[in-house]
Amino acid sequence: MKCANHPESDAVGTCVDCGKGLCSECLNQYEFPICDSCNSVRADGEKKELTKNIALTVLFFAIGFYFANSSAGSFQLVGGIVIGYLFAGIPWGWSFLNKITPSIFLFLPLIGWVIYFFIKGILSFFIGFIALPIKLFQIYRDSQRLKGVSQSVNIG
């Protein structure tokens, strides 16, 4: 098999997504063996996911901020930020739990679902408290990396 980008070079590996041949130069272009087109498809997907998660974080922060202020009856800047922060972690805790929750829960009766969502909501709250700063750091790092990808695609 020959490299998909360089017909004159022999392939030494294949793209993990589409199986196209890659030469040693193309193989080491990204963190793992992947061709240019599959990499930009993945980058697009990651960007959409990232945008969705950032939007959710902002939305939950706003809900928490509003909740703290309306229950206090007066403007609470620090309290609003603290409660907003706690709320903003919920989507991250939730998506973390989605990854580790076995699909057996899908067969629960209705009351099981209510309890399941209640427990999951509470756990999301605590996990999010820890996960949010980690995730914000990852978002920053990923956005730098994705920026690098789109630049290299434009140049190439």
Shortest distance, CB of residue 48 to Zn ion, whole angstroms?
A: 19
By the rule CB under 5 A, 2 interacts with Zn ion: no
Shortest distance, CB of residue 56 to Zn ion, whole angstroms?
A: 30
Which residue do the tokens 């399941």 mark? 116
Please give the size of the binding site for Zn ion, defined by CB under 5 A.
11
Where are the alpha helices (H) located in the chain, listed in sequence order? 24-27, 36-72, 77-88, 90-100, 110-155
Shortest distance, CB of residue 134 to Zn ion, whole angstroms?
A: 30
Shortest distance, CB of residue 2 to Zn ion, whole angstroms?
A: 9
In the complex with Zn ion, the residue whose CB is nearer, 10 or 130, is 10
- Residue in 2, 6, 42, 47 binding Zn ion, rule: CB under 5 A: 6
Cα distance from N-terminal residue to C-terminal residue, the chain:
23
Touching Zn ion, residues 7-66 (CB under 5 A): 15, 17-18, 20, 23, 26, 35, 38
User: CA-CA distance, 115 to 70, in Å (whole number)?
Assistant: 28
User: CA-CA distance, 90 to 102, in Å (whole number)?
Assistant: 20
Q: Which residues contact 50 (CB under 8 A, 6 or more apart)?
A: 139, 142, 143, 146
Give the interface with Zn ion as residue ranges (CB under 5 A): 3, 5-6, 15, 17-18, 20, 23, 26, 35, 38
